[in-house]
Structure 1
Amino acid sequence: MVLPHEPEFQQAYNELVSALQDSTLFEEHPKYKKVIPVVSVPERLIQFRVAWENDKGEIEVNNGFRVQFNSALGPYKGGLRFHPSVNLSILKFLGFEQIFKNALTGLSMGGGKGGCDFNPKGRTDAEIRRFCVAFMRQLARYIGQDTDVPAGDIGVGGREIGFLFGAYKQMQNNWSGILTGKGLSWGGSLIRPEATGYGVVYYVEKMIEKATNGKETFKGKRVAISGSGNVAQYAALKVIELGGIVVSLSDSKGAIISKNGITPEQVEAIADAKIKFKSLEEIIGESVSAFSGSNSVEYKAGARPWVHAGAVDIALPSATQNEVSAEEAKALIAAGCKFIAEGSNMGSTAEAIDVFEESRSKNVWYAPGKAANCGGVAVSGLEMAQNSQRVSWTREEVDQKLKDIMYTCFDNCYETAKKYSKDTTELPSLLKGANIAGFLKVADAMFDQGDVF
């Protein structure tokens, strides 16, 4: 059941259902129609009060949530988001996407999402610690290493995961892999911070290889990236490592455009300052030496990068949902963009996706977030495996496993799209391939377990 006051969830639901309906799946296997009304209702919705004390000794109250959407493939798995925009619609959309994203990793993880309308910006470490303890006091009774394993998301980084983990451990007298994204000295996995950014680039590597019959790589490609958080930073560094030119980054206040390419030193300066919640505008002003001369950048206040980035070959939306509009999609294609892959969840509006999909005949290829950005949760799954075995894998081992997962995910999306596609374009729809492949894995498990009959 989709409710009219849940626009983000409605959009995610519509994307899945339209991808399934616009394929031959239901004609070949009508039984799968039964799954949609079941899989689109969360198994459990938890909402709770978070009352906590600020530095002035005053009580503040926030709304906490956990959406435990589907456990057919394993424990609920999905991030916690601390941001003023958090509401049930956004968390249901994210949890719904997470079901199929997790399925595409090939690992044993169900789908869930949670968070709070708390804003960590401008808060002291002590306030964030007290808030995390109050939040976990409510959440702890609903999670567990074989029940629900949350991770970080917007507003929840290593610091917050540490505070949340410490609170859980004290309350439950239990040291288990209850959260992922932990510190490396206490159960975290190497490559976890880099995983989503690296993963989206590995996925695009396969897109380029397949579309050009192995003739082209990232080398020399101009890449527009939005966002400047964890995903954008590591996507940018991996693109640079592979010989690409990163022409943009952005935040909620504006975008920076670079003609000669953003450098690793600039990404490092941005990463250091973003921990302190500084804007790109402030960072450029304070790090003059890093952003001058041949490395100078142009700042566009209040703008996203898509119409300002100039000639681009690849676009990686890596900030938040619905950050590419139909007009911006058209501008990207006019600027020569051939590959679009979402580092963010549902990064493009439904209208923008239509523009990309209609341009496949012109060799424009779009990859949805549930496939392209599943690297983050894939390494969360690898962290869970390491915790269960009480072992730690090397950086190289985890990176190779991540690469294998992303390459396999691409192949799965590609082959599934070919198998169930109604159109005959040379580039099959990865949007449909990702939705159908993820859906089939979950649906088969639900039939086997008697959730659908």
Structure 2
Amino acid sequence: MSIKNAYLAGVYEGLAARNAEQKEFLQAVDEVLESLEPVVEARPELEKNGLIERIVEPERVVMFRVPWVDDNGKVQVNRGYRVQFNSAIGPYKGGLRFHKSVNLSVIKFLGFEQVFKNSLTGLPMGGGKGGSDFDPHGKSDAEVMRFCQSFMTELYRHIGPDCDVPAGDIGVGGREIGYLFGQYKRITNSFVGVLTGKGIPYGGSLARTEATGYGLCYFADEMLKANGKSFDGAKVVISGSGNVAIYANQKATQLGGKVIAMSDSNGYIVDENGIDYKVMKEIKEVKRARIKTYLDYVPSAKYVEGSAGIWTVPCDIALPCATQNELPLEGAKALVANGCYAVAEGANMPSTPDAVAYLQANNVLFAPAKASNAGGVATSGLEMSQNSQRLAWTFDEVDGKLHGIMKNIYANAAAAAEAYGMKGNLVAGANIAGFTKVADAMLSQGIV
């Protein structure tokens, strides 16, 4: 624990005692509370009203079994979750993650982060998260459909367009959202915007697929410009090769950068001539193959087993877009040693606390996930608006709104950091800016 303020330290210690096994959740809370020390010291009403004690506890946790039948007729059982963390500024909003690593700690950490991320967008959305330890990889479409139908058969009673609006996350793409939405519609006999990330024919938003990767680069671009730098001519390393990474590649390239390395869970590729996002898209979205397949398209590229080594590839800008805690201290040291001057997080909490501290201590520009990867949920919010109005905006309309939101998030985070004497510290600035809006709403609504 790195918290010095007695009130905040006491809250954290009580939380840690009750949730000792939830290391991801406690890591996220520790990082936020440390940033909030100057705010709490300047605003005694927060302690008086037990604001911090309330904001670190989810309003509701739903955990349930998900039975389904595989293609061999065997009954399988997974565990499902929905953590509705905070609804002070709007309906719960946050993705569903289907991955074998999912547990209550991971979902609570993601939901907690989502509260502040959603606040930063300026849209009326609370924070939540959900998912299951079900892994869709290697499953047939029929198996995924049966699982999704069983999952929604329980989840439907806890969500709704004015209550909780889930989206996709790792393992939950267009296919899964379609099956989930179909089952919700079938059970409730209603056609409402209860999920985002839907297909375009049934209420989805253009630019949603690209939004997190695009938004990451829009935020990074603002950060770079404010410090006299840019993507133009920069060498970029992107971990991951999923949705976020692919479209971060496209936008970074459009902004003048050259993406020279990308990875998946098996290893990473290096192509000094620049990795074509269209090739990556075909490999990952059409063929659903491993990243090593890139060598079939570009034989001159290099493939290295093991994804952790990607941070040793010399670059100017690093964009971690895979999963939590993927950038450790050793990776941060390698980036600094090779002259990297900016890191912007595209995944949720991909950098370990000691890695973040090392990057900041060595004057590397650092964009934290709750700010820099908010483009996905921002565009989900825009999808909610379109659904409520029964309208469909053009790609350029949505992209323009997304760009404006990301510029505002950077401006607000930078201003909050400076206001509390931490100029340039976007981790603290994002936490403070996101927290302040939620805290003020909670104070206005009484002890609930």
Q: Could you state the TM-score of these two structures normalised by the residue count of structure 2?
A: 0.94
Give the counterpart of 1:341 among 344, 347, 364.
344
- Name the amino acid aligned to 2:346: G
Partner of 1:302: 306
Correspondences of 1:4-403 after superposition (within 5 Å): 4-21=20-37, 24-33=38-47, 34-212=50-228, 216-273=229-286, 276=288, 278-281=289-292, 283-284=293-294, 288=296, 290-292=297-299, 296-310=300-314, 312-360=315-363, 364-403=364-403
CA distance in 1, matches of 2:176, 2:405: 28
Secondary structure, counterpart of 2:343 in structure 1: strand
Percent pairwise identity: 53
Mind listing any 5+ residue stretches in structure 1 that lack a counterpart? none
Task: Give the whole-Å Cα distance in 1 for the aligned partners of 2:369 and 2:84.
Answer: 20
Deviation at 1:303?
2.8
Contact 1:237-1:267 within 8 A present in 2 as well: no
Give, in whole Å, the separation in 2 of the partners of 1:367 and 1:250: 20
Q: Give the partner amino acid of 1:291.
A: V
Give yes or no for the alignment of 1:408 onto 2:408. Answer: yes
Number of residue pairs the alignment of both structures matches:
430
**Offset, 1:197:** 0.1
Give 5+ residue unaligned stretches, structure 2. Answer: 1-14
Aligned residue type for 1:322 = N
- How far apart in 2 are the matches of 1:355 and 1:322? 14
How far apart, in 1, do the equivalents of 2:226 and 2:309 lie? 27
The 3-state SS of whatever aligns with 1:118 is coil
Q: Secondary structure at the match of 1:151?
A: strand
Distance in structure 1 (CA, Å) of the matches to 2:311 and 2:393 = 42
Do the aligned residues in 2 keep the contact of 1:257 with 1:305 (CA within 8 Å)? no
Q: Deviations over 1:42-95 (max 9, x none)?
A: 000000110111111111100001000000010000000111111000000000
Retained in 2: the 8 A contact 1:250–1:305?
A: no
Decide whether the 8 Å contact of 1:74 with 1:110 is kept in 2: yes
Deviation of the 1:307 alpha carbon: 3.5
Q: Secondary structure at the match of 2:68?
A: strand
1:414 Cα deviation after fit:
0.3
Q: Please state how far the C-alpha of 1:155 moved relative to its aligned partner.
A: 0.4
Instruction: Classify the secondary structure of the residue corresponding to 2:79.
Output: strand
Deviations 1:405-439 (A, max 9, x none): 00000000000000012x5xxx5200000001001
TM-score calculated relative to the size of structure 1: 0.93
Taking the aligned partners of 1:127 and 1:268, their CA distance within structure 2 comes to: 24
TM-fit CA distance, 1:217:
2.5
State the alpha-carbon separation in 1 of the partners of residues 278 and 169 from structure 2: 25
Q: Spell out, residue by residue over 1:193-218, the C-alpha distance to the aligned partner (whole angstroms, 9 max, x if none).
A: 00000000000110111001xxx421
* 8 Å contact from structure 2 (residues 413, 426) kept in 1: yes
Which residue identity is paired with 1:30? P
Q: Secondary structure at the match of 1:193?
A: helix
SS at match of 2:192: coil
Given that residues 279 and 294 in structure 2 are in contact (C-alpha distance below 8 angstroms), is that contact kept between their aligned partners in structure 1? no
CA separation in 1, counterparts of 2:407 and 2:66? 41
Whole-Å Cα distance in 2 between the matches of residues 173 and 265 of structure 1?
39
Give secondary structure in 2 for the equivalent of 1:194.
helix
For residue 428 of structure 2, what is the aligned residue in structure 1?
Answer: 432
1:445 deviates by: 0.4
Whole-angstrom CA distance in 2 between matches of 1:303 and 1:69: 32
How many angstroms apart in 1 are the aligned matches of 2:56 and 2:385? 28
Is the CA contact (8 Å cut-off) linking 1:233 and 1:271 kept in structure 2? no
Give the secondary-structure state (helix, strand or coil) at the position aligned to 2:85.
Answer: strand
Question: What is the CA–CA distance in structure 1 between the aligned matches of 2:146 and 2:307, rounded to whole Å?
Answer: 35
Deviation at 1:129, TM superposition (A): 0.5
How far apart are the structure 2 equivalents of 1:306 and 1:169?
A: 43
Cα-to-partner distance string for 1:82-124 (whole Å, 9 max, x where unaligned):
1111100000000000000000000000000000110111100
Quick one: which amino acid aligns to residue 68 of structure 2? Answer: W
Distance 1:227 1:365 in 2: 21
Contact 2:312 2:335 in 1 (8 A): no
Deviation at 1:271, TM superposition (A): 3.4
Contact kept? 2:246, 2:277, Cα under 8 Å: no
How many angstroms apart in 2 are the aligned matches of 1:183 and 1:82? 19
Which whole-Å CA distance do the structure 2 matches of 1:264 and 1:357 have between them?
30
